[in-house]
Structures are given as structure tokens and as C-alpha cells.
Homo-oligomer: A and B are copies of this chain.
């Protein structure tokens, strides 16, 4: 990592010059929201916050575990929380040490991880939303079934998915634009 990551303090218009022989270094230009920037950290905090709220709402509802889709939503929210927290910690490290993630291999890992996480979060949110709509609109048995809280948990999961998708797109763009 030492050999391929460089301090993020170079002006954008003047790329760092490398001494010695070897293949030319790949230039990856950081932009707001990409990994290792303050915008990236804000996105990670947003994802973590929304998924934590969704998780807290779900586990506060007695008997949620009797529906497989709600269990899946809880599992994806736990996974989303852990992923966002880890990546947020990496962003804080990058900001404190004035380094940036310009290594295509590391950015590839972020892209794959973000894609898997966002897909799972979206799947959980859609399944939970589908069942909530079934209970609420189709069966009209909302009284004892806490529909409002299920809807709130699904909505928070959708917000978390939006932020994760944004992270994915920015990382993917960063990766593709260095090729």
C-alpha cells in the first residue's frame, strides 16, 4: 500500500511526478464523495445512521422473526452497519494521515463490497415493503401488526440503500476513469 498510495495534498492541476524507471503510475483523481474524502466519510455516516435506525425499529417490534423477509431485513441491516462502520473508519484514517485511496485494487474491493451491500439492503427493503403493503392494503389487517413501524423500517433501509448506491457509483466511476 505504501508503494502505491500517495499523500492527498498535491494540487489537482499538478499531478505528482515520480522519479526512477518503471511503468507510469495510474492517475486517479479524487472528487467529493469518493473513498478517503470528507464527502465519502459523510456518505458512510449517512448509511450507518439510516441502517442503525431501521435495525432498532425492526428489533423493537415483537414477533418480527415470524416473517422470513423481516429477518432478512434485520440481517442485511446488521451487515450494512458493519460495512459502513469499517469503511467510515478507513475514511477517517485516510483523512487523518492525509492519504487517499488511489490504488485500483483497493477501489475495486470498495466497488464490489458496496455493490453487494447495496443489493442486499435493497432486496431486504423491497421484500419488507412488499409484505407491509400486503398486510396493510391487500389484507387490511394493520391493527395488531405495527404497519407504521414496518413502513418506517423499510423507508430507513431505502435511505441507507440510496447512500450506498451513491458510494458505489462514485467508486465505480473513480475505478473506470483510471483505466
What is A's interface to B at a CB cutoff of 8 Å?
Answer: 66-69, 72, 119, 122-123, 126-131, 133-134, 137-138, 172-173, 176-177, 179
Contact = CB atoms under 8 A, between A and B. Distances in A.
28 contacts: A67-B134, A67-B138, A68-B130, A68-B133, A68-B134, A68-B137, A68-B138, A69-B130, A69-B133, A69-B134, A72-B130, A119-B122, A122-B126, A123-B126, A126-B126, A126-B127, A127-B130, A128-B130, A130-B131, A131-B131, A134-B134, A172-B172, A172-B173, A172-B176, A173-B176, A176-B176, A176-B177, A177-B177
Q: How many copies of this chain are found per oligomer?
A: 2
| A-B CB proximity, top 8 nearest | A127-B130, A176-B176, A126-B126, A69-B130, A123-B126, A130-B130, A68-B133, A173-B176
Give the one of A66, A126, A129 with max B CB within 10 A. Answer: A126
Contacts of A129: 127
Contact of A66 (B126, B138, B176): B138
Contacts of A133: 68-69, 127
A133 B126 CA distance: 13
A44 B137 CA distance: 35
Contacts of A172: 172-173, 176
Contacts of A137: 68
A39 to B, nearest CB: 18
A67 B173 CA distance: 39
Nearest to A137: B68
Contact of A131 (B72, B134, B176, B179): B134
